[in-house]
């Protein structure tokens, strides 16, 4: 293919840019509850996220990827013009990256998945025609703007109410916290393993049966429980801190639990969402080298490495802006509230994976934070921040699409 070297270089640069956007926005918002609740400092959260996101993205990010992410576009319609797929994927990466840059700069948590899906739909409309887009798929994605936050918010309220009734409202909350901590850690390990197995590890061809998945999740749940017990057993009652704030010692217990859930969330997120950046890059590499459109394409190791590095750089540079919005802007978080948010978000992802609902980790986490805030009354939520976030969600799909159309015509004009 003419300009093959140029296309490969551009794919690498734009893929890195898109991965940067995932790090700046999506990863930051996965860490936001840990930082907002002061379970982790910003520096600690960045180190944990960098290590575990990199590991998840590189080790479990995928060997084979579908040419067109999420089945939004019928790739068979592009067989006659393979160069259109190259222009389109380059446009989609650049468009989604630009939108994530704009959102991250303003501290707005948006969906990286919806950014790339909107961008792919945009180029497909101008490259092939309006019928090339599977509008029913886009419809279910739009519906997830409401379903995801509602579901995770409801689960977060239930989880926090359980913490309140089992621990916070008891005569000796610290002892109760230490007693129930291993149970909550088992739930965390169980759910986070299911997220990784059902979403992340499918990319590496490890397609486990439901029984195998549940067995693996149970084993890791027990492992989490044992480690949680060891961590919590070292925490001692602090009467002076409890005098100032009755639950200070209890929150130390949940802070220890949140460190583990943060590690699990980062690995699960890296293994799944890196595909939003590396999938289109792999498609460009495949078409450029083969000269034809393939339904699936092999994932070169350098592409995965590119995605993993980009995610870490994004988190280090712009991550703190989105962390501030989700962790502190919506409602006040403590470690017990933040723990309920993280576990609720992970549980929602498992339910969605099992039922086939396309959801965004961003939407589930923001919904969970809203749910915990609502458990303390509507006054505990900053509705102005929520309104701004909601508008950014709705704008993400069309913004990605419009930018992608502009870039597609630009590349077509330059290379055709």
Q: What is the pLDDT of residue 136?
A: 83
Which tens digits make up the pLDDT trace of 287-310? 888 777 766 666 778 888 888 889
Assign 331 to helix, strand or coil. coil
Q: What is the pLDDT of residue 335?
A: 92
Minimum mean pLDDT range among 74-78, 229-233, 241-245, 337-341: 74-78
Tell me how far apart the alpha carbons of residues 339 and 343 are, in angstroms, rounded to a whole number. Answer: 6
Q: What is the pLDDT of residue 401?
A: 95
Which tens digits make up the pLDDT trace of 324-336? 899 889 998 999 9
Angle at 37 between CA 196 and CA 375, to 5 degrees: 90
- Whether the per-residue pLDDT at 207 is higher than 80: the answer is no
Selection from 33, 72, 131, 63 nearest residue 286 by Cα? 63
> Can you give the pTM of this predicted structure?
0.86
Selection from 24, 36, 26 nearest residue 270 by Cα? 26
Q: What is the pLDDT of residue 231?
A: 87
Selection from 289, 276, 274 nearest residue 7 by Cα? 289
Q: What is the pLDDT of residue 339?
A: 92
Size of the chain, expressed as the number of residues it contains: 416
Report, as an integer, the average pLDDT of 224-229: 91
Report, as an integer, the average pLDDT of 242-265: 88
Q: What is the pLDDT of residue 215?
A: 94
Q: Per-residue confidence at 351, pLDDT binned at 50, 70, 90?
A: confident
Q: Per-residue confidence at 3, pLDDT binned at 50, 70, 90?
A: confident
Angle at 206 between CA 70 and CA 142, to 5 degrees: 20
State what percent of residues in the chain have pLDDT above 90: 41
Q: What is the pLDDT of residue 265?
A: 80
Tell me how far apart the alpha carbons of residues 149 and 385 are, in angstroms, rounded to a whole number. Answer: 15
What distance separates the 2 farthest-apart alpha carbons in the chain?
75
Minimum mean pLDDT range among 159-173, 185-199, 247-261, 291-305: 291-305
Q: What is the pLDDT of residue 167?
A: 94
Selection from 373, 396, 407 nearest residue 26 by Cα? 396
Residue 298 β-bridge partners: 64
Assign 73 to helix, strand or coil. strand
Tell me how far apart the alpha carbons of residues 281 and 346 are, in angstroms, rounded to a whole number. Answer: 28
Q: What average pLDDT does the chain have? A: 86
Q: What is the pLDDT of residue 292?
A: 73
Which tens digits make up the pLDDT trace of 51-62? 888 887 777 666
Q: Per-residue confidence at 7, pLDDT binned at 50, 70, 90?
A: very high
With residue 228 as reference, give the H or E element that holds it.
helix 210-233
Q: Which residue has the higher pLDDT, 9 or 275?
A: 9
Q: What is the pLDDT of residue 66?
A: 58
The set of residues, in sequence order, having a beta carbon less than 8 Å from that of 399 and lying 6+ positions away, is 99, 115, 118
């Amino acid at each position: 293919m003419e300009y093959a070297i140029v296309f490969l270089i551009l794919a690498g640069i734009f893929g890195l840019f898109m991965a940067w956007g995932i790090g700046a926005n999506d990863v930051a918002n996965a860490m936001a509850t840990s930082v907002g609740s002061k379970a982790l400092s910003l520096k600690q959260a960045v180190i944990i996220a960098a290590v575990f996101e990199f590991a998840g993205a590189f080790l479990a990010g995928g060997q084979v990827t579908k040419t067109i992410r999420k089945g939004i576009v019928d790739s068979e319609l592009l067989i006659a013009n393979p160069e259109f797929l190259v222009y389109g994927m380059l446009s989609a990466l650049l468009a989604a990256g630009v939108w994530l840059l704009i959102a991250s700069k303003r501290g707005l948590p948006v969906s990286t998945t919806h950014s790339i899906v909107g961008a792919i739909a945009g180029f497909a409309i101008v490259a092939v025609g309006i019928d090339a887009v599977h509008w029913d798929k886009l419809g279910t994605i739009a519906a997830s703007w409401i379903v995801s936050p509602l579901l995770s918010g409801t689960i977060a309220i239930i989880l926090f109410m359980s913490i309140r009734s089992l621990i916070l409202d008891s005569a000796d909350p610290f002892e109760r916290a230490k007693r129930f901590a291993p149970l909550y850690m088992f739930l965390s390990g169980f759910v986070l393993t299911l997220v990784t197995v059902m979403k992340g590890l499918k990319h590496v061809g490890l397609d486990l049966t439901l029984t195998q998945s549940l067995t693996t999740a149970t084993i890791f749940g027990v492992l989490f429980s044992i480690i949680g017990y060891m961590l919590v057993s070292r925490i001692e009652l602090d009467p002076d801190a409890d005098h100032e704030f009755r639950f200070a010692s209890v929150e130390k217990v949940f802070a220890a639990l949140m460190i583990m859930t943060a590690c699990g969330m980062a690995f699960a997120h890296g293994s799944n969402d890196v595909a939003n950046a590396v999938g289109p890059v792999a498609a460009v590499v495949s078409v450029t080298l083969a000269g034809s459109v393939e339904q699936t394409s092999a994932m070169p190791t350098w592409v995965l490495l590119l995605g993993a590095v980009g995610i870490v750089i994004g988190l280090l540079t712009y991550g703190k802006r989105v962390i501030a919005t989700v962790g502190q802007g919506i409602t006040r978080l403590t470690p017990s509230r933040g723990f309920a948010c993280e576990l609720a978000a992970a549980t929602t992802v498992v339910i969605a994976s099992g039922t086939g609902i396309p959801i965004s980790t961003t939407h589930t986490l923001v919904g969970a934070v809203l749910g915990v805030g609502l458990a303390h009354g509507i006054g505990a939520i900053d509705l102005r921040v929520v309104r701004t976030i909601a508008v950014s969600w709705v704008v993400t799909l069309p913004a990605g699409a419009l930018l992608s159309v502009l870039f597609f015509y630009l590349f077509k004009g330059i290379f055709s």
